């Protein structure tokens, strides 16, 4: 078939609109004999019948394997240098008590960025010493709690936080290990809102102020300085940006060594995943090797020992194992006038969720892939736009993809690579309830987080009356 003129340049008509691109789908996704999507041996139809839609589904073994692989790749790359590697799972990508356990059982630590994330990690039984605490505006209560429970490291983001953490540590009678968040000035190739190391933004201390800021940290007996921290952005496909950040930070690291120990260097996370079949990313083993080569070269040139390395992947671990299931409600062909005076048709397919369960398309213009999950079809592919049910024109789940043209109400749709930043960004916009989270493994499904109910929503509204009650 020929390409629809409304399709973006990167999207080509598929040979098979039922096919599952391996880079985008969980490791254990396939189609059963009847054509229905299966994840880890569990039919999407069965999942929808038991748990309802929208539904977040996670391939448990895939998530565990990816976590272990990241740790193994970096450990292997840095072992010849005699340097340890600490891998922190970035909880902001998606955190629940069970996910936290998967990560710690794979040998990872947990990175949290709020009191709520800290509470979830602790409720999972995570050793507090294996936690890192981020954030540009940690409340005094959050700092006090983090110090009191024995959080392993706190990443200080401002001069004010140095004094606050020091005071909390003194009050708790302990020495609190800290890292200093540095704005390296490295511009990663990513969306403007995902780039977090630019000069004019809210995170970190300018690189030029690092020496005097660390000196201030070292003045406090209740603080132990571990090293510098950098995070250059998210959804990054290449290692060049990380290499440049490492060079800049190591130059300062070398200067800091003259006044005291600097055991670690933390280069953050941000490793990308494939959201569509055209996304090309660097394998994690290659990224780890690149990291080791750059750090070894720079440390040798500076005449300093290779420090311990810390990284904080989130999306790269949990993104691809996640799939969201929806039910189609309506379909609507829309004829669009083209610049040349002709016209083309885009099929709008509306589902029972939307920006309340996946805000990324609205926030970042993020692209996703979609497939019919309950069947296969030989119908001619049609260009579709999967829309949510919210009262917003920007409520789009999948901006452009091809589905069999006979997609119809009550069909199940599956959107892959939704494991990161979907549940964690979910909302109750239009008072929709947030979806359940299910893990699948070895042909079995189990509920991790139950679906919200309307009773949950009304329970917080102190003016709510029992159904049928009349106001006097």
Rounded-to-integer distance, Cα 185 and Cα 192, Å = 14
349 phi and psi, to 5 degrees? -115, 115
Measure the CA–CA gap between 54 and 44, rounded to whole angstroms: 12
- Residues 135/141/147/148 CA torsion (nearest 10 deg): -150
181 close to 229: Cβ distance less than 8 angstroms: yes
Backbone CA torsion sign across 433, 439, 440, 445 = negative
Cα 342-345-351 angle, rounded to 5 deg: 155
CA distance 62 to 26: 7
CA–CA separation, 101 vs 81, rounded Å? 30
Distance CA 457, CA 59 (A): 29
Kindly give the pairing relationship between strand 264-266 and strand 109-112.
unpaired
Q: What six digits make up the tokens of 218?
A: 């070292």
Within a 10 A sphere around the Cβ of 413, how many other Cβ atoms? 28
Give long-range contacts, CB 8 A cutoff, 24+ apart: 116-123. Answer: 117/91, 117/92, 118/142, 118/145, 118/146, 118/149, 118/151, 120/91, 120/95, 120/96, 121/91, 121/95, 122/149, 123/97
**Total Cβ atoms within 10 A of residue 136:** 14
CB 369 within 8 A of CB 10: no
8 Å CB contact between 432 and 448: no
297: enclosing H helix or E strand: helix 284-302
Omega prior to 127 cis, within 30 of 0:
no
Q: Which two tokens stand for residue 367?
A: 């692209």
- Rounded Cα–Cα distance for residues 336 and 348 (Å): 12
Identify whether the C-beta of residue 426 lies closer than 8 Å to the C-beta of residue 436: no
Return the closest-CA partner of residue 326 out of 38, 51, 30. 51
Residue 114: CB atoms within 10 A of its CB come to 18
> Of 15, 192, 391, 466, which residue is the catalytic one?
391
Say whether 299 is catalytic. Answer: no
CB atoms within 10 A of CB 31: 18
Residues labelled as active-site residues: 391
């Amino acid at each position: 078939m020929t390409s629809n003129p409304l399709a973006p340049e990167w999207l080509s008509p598929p040979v098979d609109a039922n096919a599952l691109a391996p880079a985008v789908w969980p490791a254990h996704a396939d189609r059963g004999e009847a054509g229905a999507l299966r994840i880890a041996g569990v039919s999407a139809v069965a999942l929808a019948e038991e748990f309802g839609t929208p539904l977040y589904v996670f391939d448990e073994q895939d998530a565990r394997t990816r976590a272990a692989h990241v740790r193994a790749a970096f450990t292997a790359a840095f072992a010849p240098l005699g340097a340890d590697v600490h891998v922190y799972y970035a909880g902001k990508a998606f955190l629940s008590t069970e996910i936290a356990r998967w990560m710690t059982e794979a040998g990872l630590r947990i990175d949290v960025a709020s009191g709520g994330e800290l509470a979830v990690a602790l409720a999972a039984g995570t050793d507090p010493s294996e936690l890192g605490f981020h954030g540009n505006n940690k409340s005094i209560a959050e700092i006090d709690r983090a110090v009191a429970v024995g959080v392993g490291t706190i990443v200080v983001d401002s001069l004010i936080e140095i004094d606050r953490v020091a005071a909390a540590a003194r009050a708790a009678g302990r020495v609190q290990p800290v890292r200093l968040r540095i704005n390296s000035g490295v511009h990663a190739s990513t969306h403007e809102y995902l780039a977090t190391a630019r000069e004019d933004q809210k995170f970190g201390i300018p690189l030029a102020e690092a020496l005097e800021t660390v000196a201030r940290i070292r003045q406090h007996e209740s603080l132990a300085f571990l090293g510098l921290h950098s995070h250059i952005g998210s959804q990054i496909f290449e290692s060049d940006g990380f290499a440049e950040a490492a060079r800049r930070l190591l130059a300062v690291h070398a200067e800091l060594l003259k006044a005291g120990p600097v055991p670690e260097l933390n280069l953050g996370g941000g490793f990308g995943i494939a959201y569509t079949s055209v996304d090309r990313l660097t394998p994690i083993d290659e990224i780890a090797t690149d990291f080791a080569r750059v750090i070894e070269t720079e440390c040798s040139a500076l005449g300093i020992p290779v420090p311990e390395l810390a990284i904080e992947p989130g999306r790269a671990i949990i993104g691809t194992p996640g799939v969201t299931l929806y039910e189609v409600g309506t379909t609507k062909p829309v004829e669009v006038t083209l610049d040349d005076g002709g016209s083309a048709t885009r099929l709008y397919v509306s589902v029972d969720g939307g920006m309340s369960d996946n805000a990324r398309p609205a926030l970042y213009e993020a692209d996703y892939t979609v497939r019919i999950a309950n069947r296969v079809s030989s119908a001619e592919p049609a260009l579709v736009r999967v829309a949510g049910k919210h009262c917003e024109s920007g409520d789009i789940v999948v901006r452009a993809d091809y589905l069999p043209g006979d997609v119809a109400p009550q069909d199940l749709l599956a959107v892959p690579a939704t494991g990161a930043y979907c549940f964690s960004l979910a909302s109750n916009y239009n008072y929709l309830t947030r979806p359940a989270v299910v893990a699948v493994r070895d042909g079995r499904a189990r509920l991790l987080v139950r679906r919200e109910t309307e009773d949950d929503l009304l329970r917080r509204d102190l003016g709510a009356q029992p159904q049928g009650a009349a106001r006097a």
